[in-house]
Amino acid sequence: MDFQLSDEQKLISEAAREFADREILPRVRDNDRAARFDRELARKMGEVGYLGAPVAEEYGGRELDHIGYGLIVEQIGRADSSARTVVSVVTSLVGGSIERWGSEEQKMRWLPRLCSGEALGCFGLTEPDTGSDAANLRTRATRTDSGWSISGQKMWISLANFSEVALIFAQTDPALKHRGLACFLVPTESEGFTTQEIHGKLGLRSSDTAEISLDEVEVGDDAMLGAVGDGFKVAMSALDSGRYSVAAGCVGICDGCVDASVAYSKERKQFGVPLARFQLVQEMIADMILKRDASRMLVYRAGVLKDEGKPNTMETSVAKLFATESAVECANLAIQVHGGSGYVDDYPVERYLRDARVTTLYEGTSQIQKLIIGRAATGINAMLPFEES
């Protein structure tokens, strides 16, 4: 087993780190304070190929493997989780779904624009009353003479206010449950499609988050991604990819916490010596390094399996669960190392904690990841009602 990155992968990581230091870090605090979505930064990430890294070159991507993609996401996440969210949503949830499930016409229409950053996309699965229970969506798609009419609401949708296309999941027949789900590519300029920004978030303040309302939005048959009944498979495959990118981004948070804590503990003095001289401070830094390195190895394992085309749902859930929880723990420890200085935004660690917290919730809560892992271990699906299991 080779734990060494290739020369190309090292260059990918170094280039992403340089980009993040140059283009993201100088503006991250101001954007966070203003709760301002940086559309220009999203465009720049597209220009350097970070919004379509694993997408095939014929559709405007860089055709990188998943390890290379994860390295990019890690470095963007180290700088700013709000920027990492743009990469994750546009690449893993939207672009990856279109490339895997879309027709050639759908791919050619949307992927080049998404990869370049000219257009953004959002992933409309979660609803006000439905999070992890994707089989029971209330959004309805009704057959019409010319295609479909979609009505319903979506909640907690990243990039919805700035996207040109939305992947909307809707139920075509409630009696069929997950077998009736369909996914539609809906242009956000469609009549009846409206968004409302969500304010007051704990973290990811410079990431756009919105509620979507669909009031009899008309789309043609050519808007469907796959066929009726494929919607559940589209969603689950997208979440597998999205969880990988979230995990990689959280490795970046852990790494940022280590860097910030090492630097601060060496320059800050107490009792006439640097903080780094104290054993319990070194213990906290050591704990962060353990969590960072273990998270990174779990992300690498999932990435290798994805690149080999092998089943990886359980391994991806392990990586997502461990890395997201580790990011929260590392950020909390980093604030402790910084003391009172860590409680204000002069240093990045308080933002790391606020931004890391949501990663244990979206794209499957930590509890859902444990159920996925438990299902893989026992062969029993604890997420089904007792009468169905």
25: closest CA among 250, 260, 337?
260
> Which residue, 119, 140, 162, sits at the end of a domain?
119
Same domain, 222 and 133: yes
The CATH number of the domain holding residue 369 is 1.20.140.10
Same domain, 181 and 265: no
Same domain, 296 and 171: no
Same domain, 364 and 256: yes
Q: What single-letter amino acid sits at 280?
A: L
Q: Confirm whether 40 is domain-assigned.
A: yes
Structural tokens at position 97: 């779904």
pLDDT score at 130: 83
Q: Confirm whether 386 is domain-assigned.
A: no
The Cα 316–Cα 373 span in angstroms is 10
Q: Confirm whether 1 is domain-assigned.
A: no
Same domain, 296 and 203: no
Q: What are phi and psi of 142, to 5 degrees?
A: -115, 135
Q: What single-letter amino acid sits at 316?
A: T
Q: Is 211 a catalytic residue?
A: no
Let me know: does 158 contact 208? Beta carbons within 8 Å: yes
Q: Confirm whether 388 is domain-assigned.
A: no
The CATH number of the domain holding residue 209 is 2.40.110.10
Pairing of strands 140-143, 121-124: unpaired
C-alpha distances (whole Å) from 47 to each of 160, 280, 319, 376 are 21, 45, 29, 40
The Cα 313–Cα 369 span in angstroms is 10
pLDDT score at 183: 98
384 exposure class (CB count in 10 Å sphere: 0-12, 13-18, 19+): exposed
The Cα 328–Cα 291 span in angstroms is 10
pLDDT score at 99: 98
Same domain, 73 and 98: yes
Residue environment code for 200-226, b if the CB has 16+ CB neighbours within 10 A, otherwise e: eeebbbbbbbbbbebeebebeeebbbb
Q: Confirm whether 384 is domain-assigned.
A: no
> Which residue, 212, 228, 244, sits at the end of a domain?
228
pLDDT score at 385: 65
Question: Among 127, 211, 315, 363, which one carries the catalytic annotation?
Answer: 363
State the pTM of this model. Answer: 0.95
Q: Confirm whether 307 is domain-assigned.
A: yes
Q: Phi-psi bin for 152: left (phi > 0), alpha (psi -120 to 50), beta?
A: left
Q: Confirm whether 2 is domain-assigned.
A: no
Q: Confirm whether 331 is domain-assigned.
A: yes
Low-confidence ranges of the chain (pLDDT < 50): 389
The Cα 177–Cα 228 span in angstroms is 12
Structural tokens at position 243: 């969880």
Same domain, 275 and 186: no
Same domain, 97 and 140: no
Structural tokens at position 295: 């998270």
The CATH number of the domain holding residue 77 is 1.10.540.10
The Cα 379–Cα 389 span in angstroms is 11
User: Around Cβ 330, how many Cβ atoms within 10 Å?
Assistant: 32
Pairing of strands 193-197, 209-220: antiparallel
pLDDT score at 136: 84
Same domain, 253 and 326: yes
Same domain, 205 and 320: no
Same domain, 238 and 371: yes
Same domain, 104 and 212: no
> Which residue, 208, 228, 248, sits at the end of a domain?
228
Question: What is the number of domains present in the chain?
Answer: 3
Host domain of residue 133: 122-228
Place of tokens 């791919």: 107
